[in-house]
Amino acid sequence: MKFFTGSVCLASKLRAVLSVSGLFLLAWMATCHYVQAAPSLSVTSLGIVSGNRQWQVSITPDASLFSNQPAGLGGSIAAEVGFSVTGTTFVSGTKNAASWPFDNPGNNPFTSTVTNGISLNGNTLFASLGSTFFTSATPVTLLTLVTQGTGPTTVAWGGQTLLTGTPQEYVGGRLAQGGQNFNNITGSISSTIPCDLNGDGRVDGADVGLLFNSWGNVAPGTAADKDNSGVVDGADLAAIFNNWTGDVGPTAAVPEPCALGSLVFLAAILGAARNRSRVVT
Ligand SMILES: [Ca+2]
Ligand SMILES: [Ca+2]
């Protein structure tokens, strides 16, 4: 479904079209843009907290889907999204209950059953939640995810397919707003570790060695110059020690130098689900 960026824009352009000529028509065509109206999902890394990684899942409503309701101009959102983490497991998934108080039923692609709210199972987590009435198109936290350990990993989302029907229909994660379903909500985010100079997922002696190799005056942007002071010195060494992870477990047995940006992460992870998103009003 496509929408104009704004009714003011539409009205003013229509006047231009009606009043004059093709020149205005051309101007209208050049300045009015169609946009894809849809709420969106984003995930950010909150870094390492108490020995585990934390991630924040946020939803941004689309204001063009807001409608006048007794509570004012706005709308609610239903979210049904599966998450998967590579190489480790989920410790917890906690919803932002103030904004998402409703545990909706949703077909869980990982269990092939209908589950309500948040369902955690090892390295997968499924969330089917309904929101309060939003009146602003600003990001609102949906979930805080915690994954086990500090090693490098990737959290991916989406990837749902319908359990029933032939052929099974790929729908990705699903967000519902304004009485419409928006499918194919997919993506992934990979962790980064501050001061991991060789990108092996740990901050340890190898990184200290790299730092000493660059000791002294350096060019701007040198990786070991953590504070961008133009010199690699004790301050940068202190930064490494402040982010020290040492041996972080199983992932440490598989060094992958400089591989954080090139790891092939799982994309097709999630199972299948008949999605039953509904908008809570
Ligand atoms: Ca390292
Ligand atoms: Ca420095």
- d(CA 265, ligand 1 centre) in Å: 19
Looking at the fold, whether 150 and 175 belong to one and the same domain comes out as yes
Residues 226, 156 share a domain: no
Q: Do 149 and 12 lie in a common domain? A: no
CA of 204 to the centre of ligand 1 (A): 6
**Spacing, Cα 223 to ligand 2 middle (Å):** 10
Ligand nearest to C-alpha 217: 2
Helix H, strand E, coil C: the string for 132-172 is CCECCCCCEEEEEEEECCCCCCEEEECCCECCCCCCCCECC
Note the ligand closest to the C-alpha atom of 215: 2
Tell me the CA–centroid distance for residue 195 and ligand 2, in Å.
12
Output the pLDDT for position 59.
Answer: 97
CA of 210 to the centre of ligand 1 (A): 9
**Same domain, yes or no: 18 and 45:** no
Q: Does 280 map to a domain?
A: no
Same domain membership, residue 239 and residue 169 = no
Task: Decide which of 190, 219, 241 is a domain's last residue.
Answer: 190
Residue 158 lies in a domain: yes
Q: Domain for residue 198, yes or no?
A: no
Output the CA 56–ligand 1 centroid distance in Å.
Answer: 25
Residue 142 lies in a domain: yes
Distance from residue 200's CA to the centre of ligand 2 (Å): 22
232 falls within a domain = yes
Ligand closest to CA 235: 2
pLDDT of residue 69: 86
Check whether residue 246 and residue 183 sit in a common domain. Answer: no
Instruction: Report the separation in Å between the CA atom of 51 and the middle of ligand 1, taken as the mean of its atom positions.
Output: 17
Distance (angstroms) between ligand 1 centre and the Cα of 64 equals 46
pLDDT, residue 134, reads 96
Output the domain CATH number for residue 162: 2.60.40.680
Count: domains in the chain: 3
Question: Rounded to the nearest whole angstrom, what is the distance from the C-alpha of residue 243 to the centroid of ligand 2?
Answer: 15
Does residue 231 belong to any structural domain of this protein? Answer: yes
Global pTM reads: 0.61
Q: Are residues 249 and 160 in the same domain?
A: no
Residue 217 resides in a domain: yes
Distance 150 CA to ligand 2 centre (A): 25
User: Domain limits at 210?
Assistant: 205-253
Ligand nearest, relative to CA of residue 197: 1
Pair 81, 176 in one domain: yes
CA of 256 to the centre of ligand 1 (A): 9
246 and 108 share a domain?
no
Same domain, 70 and 173: yes
- Does residue 269 lie in a domain region? no
Residues 14 and 67 in one domain: no
| Domain shared by 59 and 158, yes or no | yes
- In tens digits, the chain (281 residues) has pLDDT values of 333 333 333 444 434 433 444 433 333 333 434 445 899 999 988 877 888 889 999 999 999 999 998 888 999 999 999 999 998 999 999 999 999 999 999 888 888 788 999 999 999 999 999 999 999 999 999 999 999 987 778 999 986 665 555 545 566 789 999 999 998 899 998 877 778 887 677 889 999 999 999 999 998 878 888 888 999 999 999 999 988 888 764 333 333 322 222 222 222 223 333 333 343 33
